[in-house]
Amino acid sequence: EDQVTQSPEALRLQEGESSSLNCSYTVSGLRGLFWYRQDPGKGPEFLFTLYSAGEEKEKERLKATLTKKESFLHITAPKPEDSATYLCAVQAGKAAGNKLTFGGGTRVLVKP
Amino acid sequence: ETGVTQTPRHLVMGMTNKKSLKCEQHLGHNAMYWYKQSAKKPLELMFVYSLEERVENNSVPSRFSPECPNSSHLFLHLHTLQPEDSALYLCASSQSLAGVDNEQFFGPGTRLTVL
């Protein structure tokens, strides 16, 4: 069974204090690993897709990396507007119906 | 309208009511999904439709009944729900079910409360 574990559950940062979020996964043949951002009361917003170990993608202050067992979302010099819940999801190679398995998320609060 | 829209945004219903959630995607996608997001639990896939055909039913109770009349619209019909069904119901769409760059794009969700 595919499993995704995100840590920490919550993260409080000062503005400008860089940090990393972890997503550990167990999946039978990874087709893709996805990162989403979710603001309170809203649907998840797509950030990145990673397909193979060693791959990296960047968007503004966010950088996602992938190994064979985990992915990291690095937040560099965060601003208060980066406060959100960050969700990680995996898609197995044989997943029926484009199924995504989500982790529980990491709630990030960036204080000015 | 752009992206994926959902109505209503909030719904309160009794256990004997019948109601429907509506989702519309304006992205030209061919696949649509229903997810459930409960407090303290990860997002759970409920149903998947591709070109109006249901391709996945993730062991969802029959009190939830999906309908996909065309590739742009998806409904979730609700009847005789239980209080534990209270959650955020999210609709998503993707270009297709296969291939790369097949990201799912989500709507804002419907916050459902069952009394």
- Compute the average pLDDT of residues B89-114: 89
* DSSP-derived 3-state class of residue B83: helix
Give A81-84's long-range contacts (Cβ < 8 A, gap of 24+). Answer: A81/A110, A82/A108, A82/A110, A83/A108, A83/A109, A83/A110, A84/A37, A84/A38, A84/A39, A84/A108
pLDDT of A4 above 90: yes
Whether the pLDDT of residue B68 is over 90: the answer is yes
User: What does the pLDDT look like over B69-94, one tens digit per residue?
Assistant: 999 999 999 999 999 999 999 999 99
Cross-chain CB nearest to B103 (options A42, A46, A99): A46
- B42–A42 CB contact, under 8 Å: no
Greater confidence (B83 vs A95) lies with: B83
- Distance in Å, alpha carbon of A46 to nearest chain B alpha carbon: 7
pLDDT for A97 beyond 70 = no
Q: How far is the C-alpha of B74 from the C-alpha of B32, rounded, in Å? A: 7
pLDDT of residue B1: 67
Q: Nearest CA to CA, how far is A7 from chain B (Å)?
A: 13
- When pLDDT is averaged across residues A18-44 and rounded to a whole number, the result is 94
Model confidence band, residue A28 (pLDDT cutoffs 50, 70, 90): confident
The chain A residues in contact with chain B (CB within 8 A) are 4, 32, 34, 36, 41-46, 49, 51, 87, 89, 96-105
| Predicted confidence (pLDDT) at residue B96 exceeds the cutoff of 90 | no
CB B54 within 8 A of CB A97: no
Task: Decide if B31 and A89 are in contact by the 8 Å CB cutoff.
Answer: no
Spatial contact of B82 and B16, defined as CB atoms under 8 Å apart: no
